[in-house]
Amino acid sequence: MGFFKKLLSQDDSPQQWEVKIKGTVQRNGAIPVNRTFIVDDIKQAQAFTGSKRHEVIAEWLRQNYPGATFNIHGFGAEVKAVKE
């Protein structure tokens, strides 16, 4: 049992992911958004590229750019594994 557990373990999988969000918000003029941040949870990273990605990106924008207006379809997110 220990052999298969060791064989199938994900110890070599990345532990952190880099999320980059790009787009433009409106607040007294156009403000370009090009933010990169690191997350530790794979589910949080996958949320930015999943089927509900527009809702996740919209909530992130509301938290980081309060009062700004935006077209959610003008935003994109890129997720990459961080190599240590």
Question: If you search the block for the tokens 């994900």, which residue do you land on?
Answer: 10
The pLDDT tens digits for 20-46 are 999 999 999 999 999 999 999 889 999
Give the H or E element holding residue 64: helix 53-64
Give the count of domains, the chain: 1
Q: Is 9 among the domain residues?
A: no
What does the pLDDT read at residue 7?
46
* Chain position carrying tokens 């003008």: 74
Q: pLDDT grade, residue 15 (50/70/90)?
A: confident
Residue 1 falls within a domain, yes or no? no
Task: Inform me whether the pLDDT recorded for 5 exceeds 70.
Answer: no
Domain that holds residue 22: 14-81
